[in-house]
Structure 1
C-alpha cells in the first residue's frame, strides 16, 4: 500500500511516501543553517518517525544546490550566548536532534548536495549512509570562529574516521571535498550533482529489499552496543533483535528463498 504525508512547518519539510521519509531543511537564504525553531522541528520529526513502524528508511538533505547545512544560524539570537551558556543548553540528541541520537532504529541516509559544515557536518555524522555530490564540502569549522563542535562533531569524527585524519580536520577547521571524505571512509558514494537523486534511490532500494525487522534490529544493535566488546554486545537481548528473530519476516525470507521468488515482507 502506498501512503503519502506532506507537512511544512518552520522551513523544515517531512514527506513520507512508499515507506520512505524525506526530511528537507529549507532555509536557503542562510545556506540551510539551523535556528532554534528548526532544531525543535527536527527533533519533533525524529520523535514522530520513531513511532511510525511503516517507515523503513529516511533521507535527510538541504534544499537547493548550494548547501546540505552550514550548521548553526550565526545570524540568530541564540549565538549571542557565551560559550558556557551554549554548552549548558546543548540538545542531548545532538545537532539537528540527530548527531547523537540513539533511539531511531531506521536507517538514515544523508544526501549531501553542497556545504556540510559545523552542525551540518554533525548531522552527517549522525547518518548511517552518506551519499554526496562531487561538489560537496565537509568540515567542522567552529574553531575558526572561536567555537567548538560540541554537538557530536568532535566525539563522533574520531570514531568514524582514522585518528590522524580526524585530528587534521578538527585542529585546523579546514574543509574537505567529497572525494577526500570518501577516501577517509566517511562517505559511501560520490557522484556528479545531477546523479545524486538516482544514487540515493539505489541505496534506498537496497534497504527496502531487506526485511524491515532485520534492518531495525541491525540499527538498534549497532547504536546500543558501541560501548561494549563484540562478545558482550552479542549477548544483549535487545527488543528489535528479539522481534526480528520471532518475526513473520524471518519465516517469509526462508519461504521466498526455497520457492526461488522475491520476498514479500510483512514488516512484522
Structure 2
C-alpha cells in the first residue's frame, strides 16, 4: 500500500506511505493519487482534505528516482500531468480546501504538492526544497510556476538555482507556511484548522477557494467582476440565508451545503 485514504466526518485524509524511500512517489503511486483526487471531487460529503506523509522523516521527497521510467527530461516534461506533481500541485478542479500537514522533508515533488495546498502546517524540524537542478532536472510539475507566485521572486529563484533547503521558520516568514509547531503539537494544530473550516459554510469556502485560484492573474477590477459558478451558488444558497438567521438568533448555523 502506497497511499492511505479515508473519509470521515467530512474530512478526507490522504497519507503517502513509502517510509522505505522517504515517501517517494513512483508512477503507480502517482496514478493512485490521481484516482483519490477524482474520488474526493466526486464526493459531496468531503469538506476538507488533509495531505501528509507517514512517519516524521519526510512529507515526501518527490519522485522516486530509484524507479526511474527511463524517460529523458524532455520526454518527462512532454508527458507531465496538467495537475502537477501528485495530481495536486496545479490542480484546478478541486474546490475543497487542502491542508498540507508537513511532518518532515518536503523536497522536489513533495514541495510541489505543498505548493498545491491552501493551508500549510509544518513541524519545526521541517525543511523545504526544490533540488532538481542538482541532478540536471527542473521542477517541472508546478515548482517553477507556483513558488515564485507564493514567495518573493528572488527567494524562489535562489532556492531553485542552488538547490538549497529552507527551514519551516523561514517558509513561514515568507508566507508559504501558515503555522509552525513542534512535532508533538502538529496533529492538534491541524485539528484546529480543520475544525475552523468545518465551522464555516461549505459553499462559501468553495467559492473563496475558486475565486482565489481563478483570479490571481487578474487586475482587481477584473477579479471582482468574475462570477464563478461557485460564487453564484453560494450567494443563492439556503446556507446564505441560514448563516444570517443563525447570527440574528444567536445560535450555531446548521449548514446543509445547499
For residues 34-183 of structure 1, what are the structure 2 equivalents within 5 Å?
34-78=25-69, 80-183=70-173
How much does 1:166 deviate?
0.9
How much does 1:69 deviate?
0.1
Q: For structure 1, which runs of at least 5 residues remain unmatched after alignment?
A: 1-9
The residue matched to 1:138 in structure 2 has which SS? strand
Deviations 1:143-180 (A, max 9, x none): 11111101000110000001111111111110111111
- Aligned-partner Cα distance in 2 for 1:194–1:30: 23
How much does 1:225 deviate?
2.1
When the two structures are aligned, how many residues end up with a matched partner? 258
- Asked whether 1:188 is paired with 2:184, we answer no
- Aligned-partner Cα distance in 1 for 2:235–2:18: 43
- Aligned-partner Cα distance in 2 for 1:172–1:77: 23
- Asked whether 1:252 is paired with 2:242, we answer yes
Give TM-score scaled by structure 1 length. 0.94
- Aligned-partner Cα distance in 2 for 1:77–1:235: 46
For residues 8-19 of structure 1, what are the structure 2 equivalents within 5 Å?
10-19=1-10
Residue of structure 2 in register with 1:205 after alignment: 195
How much does 1:113 deviate?
0.2
Give TM-score scaled by structure 2 length. 0.98
Deviations 1:72-121 (A, max 9, x none): 0011132x211111111111100000001011000000000000000000
Deviations 1:177-227 (A, max 9, x none): 111111111000000001100000111111111100100110111112222
The residue matched to 2:250 in structure 1 has which SS? coil
The residue matched to 1:75 in structure 2 has which SS? helix
Deviations 1:15-69 (A, max 9, x none): 1011000000001110100000110111111111111111110000001110000
- Aligned-partner Cα distance in 1 for 2:214–2:175: 22
The 4+ residue runs of structure 1 with deviation greater than 2 A are none
- Asked whether 1:25 is paired with 2:16, we answer yes
Q: For structure 2, which runs of at least 5 residues remain unmatched after alignment?
A: none
- Aligned-partner Cα distance in 1 for 2:103–2:122: 6
The residue matched to 2:162 in structure 1 has which SS? coil
How much does 1:237 deviate?
2.1
